[in-house]
Structures are given as structure tokens and as C-alpha cells.
Amino acid sequence: MSTAATTTPLSDLEYRRITSAILSNVEAAVDAWLEADLIDIDTRRSGGLLELVFPNSSHIVLNTQPPLQELWMAARSGGFHYRHAEGRWLDREGREFFEALSACASEQAGQGLKFAPAH
């Protein structure tokens, strides 16, 4: 099944701004969970790469791909590529990035975790 959403071209500056904000948003959510004593996920960020390390030593890696204007996620369940389409980041099947990240993180954490875009 393919998404009907149209890929939205971004300038390089806009792509970097948006993807940097996404990675910062994910880091902020993880920090808030640590402060609330919900779960202790370690984060490691280097430029456009953010690694989440779960208490069971599993990892999720988020990586920006500027030449392709994509956002990649590698998790236990597989690797996924997202493109900016109509204001959201969608994979080829139309699955939204934050929904997929929430599902993968919840599976790897063994508890419900919800990531959401900043508004």
C-alpha cells in the first residue's frame, strides 16, 4: 500500500532546521521520562544522529540523511525511511514517524511510550 501524500521539497536550511528540532524533541521527551522516573533511556547525539539506549541494552538510532532529505530510524523491528510530505514525515506505506517511533520504543521498553511532534 502506498501513501497518496505528496513529498514536500524543502530547502537545505529548512530540512536541517526541521530535523534538528525533531531530534531535540525526542531528546526532550526522553529527559522528561527520566525526570518523572518513568524509564531511564540513555541518549547519545552526534550531529544528525541520535541513539536511544534502552534499559535492556536495545537501541533505536535516528539519523538524518540531508542528501536524500530523509529521516531514518533503525530499531529492533527494522529500518525505516521517512520523507517530508504535507507537513508530516511518512514512510512508503504512509506510516507517520512519531507513531512508528512510539511503537518501536514501546516494544523495546516493554511499556507504553508516546512521542509526539512539538507544536
List, for residues 13-64, the tens digit of each pLDDT value.
Answer: 999 999 999 999 999 999 999 999 999 999 999 999 999 999 999 999 999 9
Contact 8, 85 (CB under 8 A): yes
Predicted TM-score of the model (pTM)? 0.92
| DSSP three-state, residue 114 | coil
Q: Is residue 2 part of a domain?
A: no
pLDDT grade for 66, boundaries at 50, 70 and 90: very high
* Structural domains of the chain, count: 1
Q: Is residue 1 part of a domain?
A: no
Q: Which domain holds residue 69?
A: 12-109
Q: Is residue 119 part of a domain?
A: no
Look at residue 21 in the predicted model and tell me its pLDDT.
96
Q: Is residue 7 part of a domain?
A: no
Q: Is residue 3 part of a domain?
A: no
69-78 contacts: CB < 8 A, separation 24 or more?
69/9, 69/10, 69/15, 71/19, 71/22, 71/97, 73/97, 73/100, 73/101, 73/104, 75/104, 75/105, 75/107, 75/108, 76/104, 76/107, 76/108, 77/104, 77/107
Q: Is residue 5 part of a domain?
A: no
Q: Is residue 74 part of a domain?
A: yes
Q: Is residue 35 part of a domain?
A: yes
| DSSP three-state, residue 95 | coil
**Residue 2: is its pLDDT beyond 90?**
no
Contact 54, 38 (CB under 8 A): no
As a whole-number percent, the residues of the chain with pLDDT over 90 amount to 88
Rounded Cα distance between 43 and 40, Å, is 10
pLDDT grade for 114, boundaries at 50, 70 and 90: very high
Which CATH number fits the domain that encloses residue 104?
A: 3.30.920.10
Contact 94, 5 (CB under 8 A): yes
